[in-house]
Every structure is written in C-alpha cells, then in structure tokens.
Amino acid sequence: MSTQSCILLVLGAGLSRRFGENDKLEAMLNDRPLAQHVLQIVTTLPWQQKRVVSRLGGTWHGAYDQSGFHRLINPEPERGLGSSLALGIRGLEPQDRVLICLADMPFITPAHLLRLCAASEAEPHLAFATSSPSYRGPPAVFPMESLLKLSPEEDMGARSLIRTAQLLCCPTHETTDIDDAASLAAITQASPPSDFPGT
C-alpha cells in the first residue's frame, strides 16, 4: 500500500488565537476532541512512521501516544508553523517523503490520503497538495529534499512549496478546518454526526 512508503506528520501545535484562550484541539466535535477525528482517519492506514507535533499542555495527544505516534513537543509554538514543521522532520532521511496533515481538519478521508501517497510514490521528487474550489493546502506530501530547504522561522510552514505543488482535488467539505468557536458550532449544528465523513 502506498501510504507505507510515506512518513505521516500531524501538526497540532498552533496557538489557536482565533479560538480564544482554550486549545481548539481539545474542543468537542460530536463525541470526541477535534484532534482525534484526524487520528481516527489516519490510523486506518499503514505508515512508514507516524509523528505528531503538539504544545506542552493539553490532553488530546494522549490518544496519539496510545496509537503509536512519536510525539514531539514544540516549546515555542509562537514562532509559527515553520518551527513545528522543522521539529517534525528532525532526524528523517533525505530520501524520505512526508505527508503532512493538520490536526484541525476532521473531514479529510483515507481515500484522499491514499491518492496523495500514490501520486508521490509514482513521482517521488514532486510535491502534491490538496485542492477544492476554495482551498489549496494540506494534506500534502513532500520529498524531504524540499522540506529541508525551508527555514524554521517561516511562519507559514510549507506554503511556499504548496504554491508549486501538483494539486489533487477533493470535495469542499473535506477541506473544512476549524478556526474559531463559531465555525465549530456551525459544523456541530449543521447535521447529525453520521452525515460527516471521518466522524
């Protein structure tokens, strides 16, 4: 299976400034914390290695620990996404390929992750990102040789690589992320849990 040739990296160390004082990844979506929706999706697939970057506090990452993830703690999340990305790829080999997911995207599907990894396996020197009519970004898979060129001080992480990545389309609802309490409430109230992919 193509995912076995990729290293999975889930990024979850953001400061959630738009969500208020609380860590949005701890917020409940239907029956479990937001970050655990992504966990349920990615653990249906086999990976070469599983990594997650978190902040020091919180409890959502306990389920990741139990699922065999190597957890890396970002002590300075205020430095931006680049610092989490640099931490997440530390120690990997130049020939590795890394699939990056964000912990606040609960509706991405295993089928789409498989497509990304299969595309990367066929053309390992290219980057592949996700797109929908209103979105372009992670999940995305990158060759390590590209990620190693990024600065840890780059606040937007791998956005510069996504600009030139090959795009794989998916339905708009799959690229929904949770930025604030209002967006979480809107998704929760929109329809029952069974209507949401990945829940």
In order along the chain (199 residues), what is the average pLDDT of each group of 10 residues? 91 70 82 92 97 91 96 90 93 96 94 97 97 94 94 74 95 83 64 41
pLDDT at 193 (0 to 100): 40
Task: Report residue 142: phi and psi, to 5°.
Answer: -130, 145
CA 35 to CA 84: how far, in whole Å?
A: 16
Pairing of strands 49-54, 97-102: unpaired
pTM for the full model? Answer: 0.88
pLDDT of residue 198: 42
Q: Can you say whether the dihedral through the CA atoms of 179, 185, 186, 187 is positive or negative?
A: positive
pLDDT for res 78: 85
Whole-angstrom distance between the N-terminal and C-terminal Cα of the chain?
23
The Cα 40–Cα 52 span in angstroms is 14
Cβ neighbours of 117 (radius 10 Å): 25
pLDDT computed for residue 199 by the predictor: 38
- Note the pLDDT of residue 126: 97
Contacts with 87 (C-beta within 8 Å, 6 or more apart), sequence order: 53, 72, 74
Q: What is the pLDDT of residue 16?
A: 58
Confidence (pLDDT) at 18: 54
Which among 3, 14, 9 has a CA at the least distance from the CA of 138? 9
Beta strands in the chain (DSSP E): 7-12, 28-29, 32-33, 49-54, 70-73, 97-102, 128-132, 135-143, 166-169
Sign of the dihedral defined by the CA atoms of residues 175, 181, 186, 187, in that order: positive
Strands 70-73 and 128-132: unpaired
Q: Could you tell me which of 49, 55, 6, 20 has the C-alpha nearest to residue 35?
A: 55
* Residue closest to 135 by CA, chosen among 98, 160, 170, 166: 170
- Any idea what DSSP says for residue 62? H
